[in-house]
Amino acid sequence: MSHETLLLLATAVSIGTIHTLLGPDHYIPFVAMGRAARWSLRKTLLVTALCGVGHVGSSVVLGVVGIALGIVVFRLEQFEAVRGDLAAWLLIGVGLAYTTWGLVRALRNIPHSHVHVHADGTVHRHPHTHDGEHLHTHGEGQSIGPWVLFTVFLFGPCEPLIPLLMYPAARLSGWAVAAVAVAFGAATLVAMMASVAVLHWSLPRVSSRVRGFERFSHAAAGFSVLLCGVLILAGL
């Protein structure tokens, strides 16, 4: 393996890791939605891995096609920018819808009391919520959530992969392109899953100190997804 290939591989691992850690959209949506839907850590990591593969794989396919057809990198960067904006708007749309639903659910589930008068004249108050009586929440977030996230991440580009890694590797060999793509993808997945695991472990310890947070967990999850989309559009 040549010195240039080794340098590109090291660069791929570094860029993949840093790019992921600096982009909260790579891990916050999984933690927020997983926490709200009460996914296990195993399921949360599985969804994260699935979305990460789609996220990196779509850019790899685009880069390989571009290299094979001789498309200049500038045009691919333009196309990736359009994909990035589309992914951001999808995050905003999903986040806004989920936030709205979460707020409605939380407000309808405010604890309150009903007064009951028995035949013998006894009067008592019965603490009561409407959650589970009027809102059917069986398996909420269990089926649609992962596929929504996967769709969003499939459209989301890995901006540095094609111009900074795949095109320089293509000047060396096809094997160099494959090696760089695998190195970047592996670093991205490891960084995503490590970040999700740390936040999944720490979030319950933080939220448990905030009274009433659990009732607003879905709204908070939706808002965090929405915020990630806004940050992407803002270029942050």
User: What tens digit of pLDDT does each residue of 76-107 get?
Assistant: 888 888 888 888 898 899 889 888 988 888 77
Close Cβ partners of 162 (under 8 Å, ≥ 6 residues apart): 59, 62, 63, 66, 73, 76, 77, 80
CA distance 154 to 66: 18
| Residue 206 burial class via C-beta count within 10 angstroms: exposed 0-12, middle 13-18, buried 19 and up | exposed
Give the pLDDT band of residue 30 (cuts 50, 70, 90).
very high
Q: Is the pLDDT of residue 71 over 90?
A: no
> Could you tell me which of 173, 165, 203, 130 has the C-alpha nearest to residue 59?
165
Residue 113's contacts (CB-CB under 8 Å, 6 or more residues apart) are 125, 126, 127, 128
In this structure, the chain runs to a length of: 236
When the pLDDT of each residue in the chain is averaged and rounded to a whole number, the result is: 81
Asked if 105 and 163 touch (Cβ cutoff 8 Å), the reply is: no
pLDDT recorded at residue 15: 95
- Which of 38 and 51 is assigned the larger pLDDT? 51
**Lowest mean pLDDT across 98-112, 113-127, 152-166, 216-230:** 113-127
- Band of pLDDT at residue 136, cut at 50, 70 and 90: very low
Residue 223's nearest CA partner among 33, 47, 23 is 33
Q: Is the pLDDT of residue 220 over 70?
A: yes
Q: How confident is the model at residue 45 (pLDDT cuts 50, 70, 90)?
A: very high
d(CA 3, CA 31): 39
Reported as a pLDDT band with limits 50, 70 and 90, residue 228 is confident
What is the model's pLDDT at position 18? 95
pLDDT at 24 over 90: no
Residue 114 pLDDT:
47
Distance CA 232, CA 228 (A): 6
The two structure tokens encoding residue 15: 């860029």
Q: Does 159 score more than 90 pLDDT?
A: no
Reply yes or no on whether the pLDDT at 229 is more than 60: yes
Phi, psi of 172 (to 5 degrees): -95, -60
Query: What integer pLDDT is reported at residue 158 of this predicted model?
Result: 86
139 or 180, greater pLDDT: 180
Q: At residue 175, what is the residue type?
A: W
